[in-house]
Structure 1
Amino acid sequence: MDFTPTEAQQDLARLTGEVCDKLVTADRLRELDKAEVRFDEALWHALAETGVLAATLPEAVGGSELGIPEQTVVLRELGKSVAAVPFLWSIVLGASTLARYGSAEQREWAAKAGSGQAVLTVALSEERNWDPAAPTTTAAEDADGWRLTGAKTVVPFAAQADRILVSANVSGAPAVFLVDPSATGVRVTPQQVVDHSPDAEIEFDSAPAQLVGSTDTGAEILTRLLEYGWLGLAAQQLGTLERALDLVAEYGREREQFGRKIGGFQAVAQRLADGYIDLQGLRLAVTQAAWRLSEDLPAAAEIHTAKFWAAEAGHRIAHTVVHVHGGVGIDRDHVVHNYFTAAKHNEFALGGATDHLRALGDLLAERD
C-alpha cells in the first residue's frame, strides 16, 4: 500500500489549485454570497477549458482514464477554495456513471459534461427516508417507457442541470434513471441551505425517464453513486478544513490580546492541535478509501469511516475556526464565514456522523 501521490495526481492538483487561486478570491466569494444563484460559471468554464473536468473520465467519452484518486485530489483543491461548482455531482457521479453504465445516447451526456457543455447532477436524498439505498420514489414501465413518481430533496444544482440521475424503487429493488428536468411531470423548487448552494426539491408526477443500465444492475449503480458521493464529500471537506485551519492558525499568529499573540494561549493552542489531529485522521481515511476503490477492493467500511470523519472533524474544526476568530468569525463579509458554512454543508450532505456510524456498526455486525 503506497499512498504517495502520483505525478498525474500532483499535476492535476496543481492545475486545479492554480485555476482556483486565480478566479476564487475573497471578493468573488462575497459576490457569490449575494448572487441569486451560487454557481461560479466563470470557474466552471475555466475548469473545462483547462481539461480538469474531462481528465478523470474514461477515454471513450473524451477523458484521460484517470480515476477516483485523481477525482479526490481535484475535490480537495476545490474544497480549499470553497468553489461553487458541481464537479462532484456532474463529473464524479453523473458523467462517470453514464460513461460506465449508460447507453450510447446517455454516454453522449457524459462527454458533454466533461467538455463543460452540460451539467449533470444526482437526486438521492428523500424526505423522511434516512436510507438512500432504499429509495421510496417509484418507477413503473408502460407502453411509452418508464415513469417516475415521488420526490427528492436537497438535489444539488438541480435548476442548472441538463439531466438528473434519479434513484427509484422498481418492484422492491433499486434502479437509477436519467431525467430531463424540463420534462412534463417534473417540478423543481429551490431550497435554502446553510451555504446557499443551489439545492432544490424535485417532485415527479409520472415523469418520463430513461433507465440507466438495467433493473438487474440498479443496486450496483446506486451503491456506486452513494459510495463515490460519500467519499467525494469527504475529499471536498478535507480541502475545506485544511484551508480553514490554515486561516485560523494565521489569525492566531497575528491577533494580539492582553499584550500577547492569541496563538500563545494554552486554550487556543490546544484547540488548534486538536484540529490538526482531526485533519490528519480525515486525510488518512480519504486516502485509504480512494486507494481501495481504485484497486477494486471492498471499501464500504473505509468510505463510511471517511464520511464519519468528514462530519465529526468538520463540526469540531468549523466551530474552532469561528470561536478563535471571535466576532470576526460570525461576520458574513469575512471569508471565514464561507468555510464555516461549507464545512456544515459537507457535514450533513448524504448523511451526518450518526448515519455513517450506524452503517459501520451494521458492517461490523455482519462480519461477526
Structure 2
Amino acid sequence: MDFSFTEEQSDLAGLARTLLTDWTTNNTPDGTGFDRPLWAALTRAGLIEAALPAPIGGGFGLAEQCTVLVEIGRAVAPAPYLTSVAVAACAIATFGDDEQRQRWVAPVASGTATLAVALATEDNRFRAEPAATGWRVSGIHSAVPMGAFADAYLIETTTPQGTLLLVLDRDTPGLRVTAQHVVDSTDAALLELDGVAVGTANTLGAPGNGAAEWAHRRATIATCAYQLGVVERALELTSEYALTRKQFDKPIGSFQAVRQRLADAHIDVEAVRLTLWQAAWREAQGLPADAEVATAKFWAAEAGHRVAHTMVHVHASIGIFLEYQVHRYFLAAKRSEFLFGAATEQLRVLADALSSAPSS
C-alpha cells in the first residue's frame, strides 16, 4: 500500500504553502476572520475551484482539500476554505440539483461568495415543521463558524421524517444574523430563526437522505486537517525557539524536561497526521468511517490541546505576547479542539461505532 501523496496533491500543497507564506510575510490578521484579498488570491491560483466537484470545479476530492487545509492551518490564515469549500459547497454539489449548484456553488468557485455551516449540536439545533410550500424553521445556533460575513448558510434541521439540510441566503426574510467574537476573531455568527418559511428550492434532497451525516463527517475531517497544520507549525516554531533561546549559556532545548515535552509533542503531531489520513482515505473511498473520523477528531482535540500548551510553556512569557505569532497558534488549536465535537464527544461516537460493528 502506497501512502505517499499523488502529484496533484503535492502540487496543490506546494502552491498553497507558497501563496500563504507570502501572505503571512506581508500581512497581519486584523481579527475579522476573513481576508478578502487573500481569498481572491486563492481563487486566482485555482485552489478553490480545483477542489470542487465537476462540472463546476476541477473534480478534486477530499484528500486534495485536506492538503490545502493543512497549509491554511500552518499559516492560521483567515480564509473560510473549511466551511465554504470542504463542507458547504461540496454538500450542495453532492446532494443538490443543477439549479442549486449554479446558485450557490458557482459563486464560491469564482471567489465571489462564501458559505457557513450550522450543523446541529447538543445546545444548538434547528427544527422544521412541514408547511404548504415547504417548511417552517425555528431555532438558534450561537456560534456558526465563518458566519459573520457569509453570503449563505448550510443549516441542519430536524424534521419528523429525519434530518434535513437547508441552504439559506443571508437576506432570507426572518433570518437574523449577529456577529459574535470568539477566541481568535470575530468571524462567528449567532443565527436565529422563528417560523421562517423555507421552500423546496432551498432543501438538499429529502429528509433522512444522509446529507446531514455526510456533512458532519466532512466537517470533522476538514477540522482535523486544519488542526494538523496548526500543531505541525506550532511544533516547528517551538523547536526553533528551543534551539536559539539560552539559559545558563545553553540552549533550553538541551534540557531534559524540554526535550521530553518536544518529543511528546512530536508523537502527538504524528498521531494527528496518521489518524487524519486514515479517516480521509476511508471517507473518500466510500467505506464506513465513523470510528476512524471520531478517532481522528479525538487526537486533533486531545493532542492539539497538549501541543498548544507545550508551545506556550516552552516559550514562557513570550508565548502570550499579542505582538508575537505564537498566541495565534495557541488560539487556533484551542478553537479547533472544540469545533465539531471535543475529545469526550468523539469518544462517545467511537464507543457507539464500535458497539454497533459486527463481531468478527
CA displacement 1:160-208 (0-9 Å, x = unmatched): 1111110001115111111122222111122221111500110001223
Q: Equivalent residue for 1:105?
A: 99
Aligned to 2:222: 232
In structure 2, relative to structure 1, the CA distance for the partners of 1:126 and 1:363 (3 Å cut) is closer
Do the aligned partners of residues 70 and 116 (structure 1) sit closer, same or farther apart at CA in structure 2, a change above 3 Å counting?
Answer: same
Q: Which residue of 2 aligns with 1:6?
A: 6
> Residues 154 and 168 of structure 2 are in contact (CA less than 8 Å); yes or no, is this contact kept in structure 1?
yes
Tell me which residue corresponds to 1:190.
179
1:93 aligns with 2:96: no
| TM superposition score normalised by structure 1 | 0.93
Greater shift, 227-236 or 111-120, is seen at 111-120
Q: Give 1:192's aligned amino acid.
A: H
What do the CA deviations read for 1:43-78 (whole angstroms, capped 9, x no partner)? 1110011100011111221x1111101010000000
> What's the Cα RMSD here?
1.4
Contact residue 279 and residue 292 of structure 2 kept, 8 A: yes
Q: What's 2:203 paired with?
A: 211
Secondary structure class of the residue paired with 1:85: coil
Given residue 215 of structure 1, which amino acid in structure 2 is its aligned partner?
A: P
Distance 2:136 2:115 in 1: 20
Give the one of 139, 151, 159 matched to 1:162: 151
Alignment match, 1:366: 356
* Residue 139 of structure 2: aligned partner: 150
Q: Contact 2:179–2:186 at 8 Å: present in 1 too?
A: no
Question: Percent of aligned pairs with the same residue?
Answer: 43
SS of the residue corresponding to residue 52 of structure 1 reads coil
What is the match of residue 345 of structure 1? 335
**3-state SS of paired residue (1:60):** coil
1:266-281 pair list within 5 angstroms: 266-281=256-271
- CA deviation map 1:13-44 (0-9, x unaligned): 0111111011123x623x423xxx22111111
Find the aligned partners of 2:215 and 2:2 in 1 and give their Cα distance: 26
1:42 aligned residue: 37
Whether the aligned pair in 1 keeps the contact of 2:50 and 2:59 (CA below 8 Å) is: yes
Aligned twin of 1:72 = 66
**1:287 and 2:311 matched:** no
SS at match of 1:207: strand
In structure 1, the gaps of 5 or more residues are 130-135
1:84-130 per-residue CA deviation (whole Å, 9 max, x = no partner) reads 1110100011111111111222101112111111111111144625x
Label 1:319 to 1:268 Cα distance change in 2 as closer, same or farther (>3 A).
Answer: same
Query: Higher mean Cα deviation, 306-315 or 110-119?
Result: 110-119
The equivalent of 1:114 in structure 2 is 109
Say whether the 8 Å CA contact 2:73–2:226 is kept in structure 1: yes
Kept in 2, the 8 Å contact 1:123–1:153? The answer is no
Q: Mean Cα displacement is larger for which, 169-178 or 120-129?
A: 120-129
Where does 1:9-28 land on structure 2 (aligned, <5 Å)?
9-25=9-25, 28=27
The runs of at least 4 consecutive aligned structure 1 residues that moved more than 6 Å come to: none
Instruction: Provide, for residues 263-311 of structure 1, a one-character-per-residue CA deviation record: whole Å limited to 9, x for no partner.
Output: 0000000000000001111110011111111211111111111100000
Provide structure 2 residue ranges, at least 5 long, that are not aligned to the other structure. Answer: none
Query: What is the CA-CA distance between 1:137 and the residue it aligns to?
Result: 1.4
Give the structure-2-normalised TM-score: 0.95
Moved more, 297-306 or 269-278: 297-306
- What count of residue pairs does the alignment treat as equivalent? 354
1: distance between equivalents of 2:21 and 2:186?
20
Decide whether aligned partners of structure 1 residues 350 and 21 sit closer, same or farther in structure 2, where only a CA change above 3 A counts: same
Provide the residue aligned with 2:253 in structure 1: 263
Q: State the partner residue of 1:241.
A: 231
